[in-house]
Amino acid sequence: MDAAGRRVPFDAQQVDAPLSRSAVFLVVTIGPTPEQLRTALDVVAGIDDLVKSVGFRDLGANLSCIVGIGSAAWDRLGRSDRPAELHPFVAVEGPKHTAPSTPGDLLFHIRAERPDFCFEFERLLFEQLGDSVEVVDEVNGFRYFDARDLLGFVDGTANPTGRGMADATLIGDEDPAFAGGSYVVVQKYLHDLAAWNALTTEQQEAVIGRRKADDVELDDTEPQRAHKTLATITDDNGYEFDILRDNMPFGSPAAGEYGTYFIGYTRRLWVIERMLQRMFLGDPPGYHDRILDVSTAATGTTFFVPSLQLLEGLADAS
Report, as residue numbers or ranges, the catalytic residues: 155
Residues paired with 148 in a beta bridge: 144, 154
CB 230 within 8 A of CB 283: yes
Listed in sequence order, the DSSP H helices in 187-264 are: 193-197, 201-208, 227-230
Amino acid at 4: A
Residues paired with 187 in a beta bridge: 262
CA distances from 99 to 11, 152, 161, 196 (A): 33, 23, 29, 20
- Spatial CB neighbours of 203, under 8 Å, sequence gap ≥ 6: none
3-state helix, strand, coil in the chain (%, to 5): 35, 25, 40
Separation of alpha carbons 34 and 318, rounded Å: 10
Sign of the alpha-carbon torsion through 287, 152, 60, 56 = positive
Separation of alpha carbons 292 and 1, rounded Å: 38
CB 105 within 8 A of CB 41: no
* 115 three-state secondary structure: helix
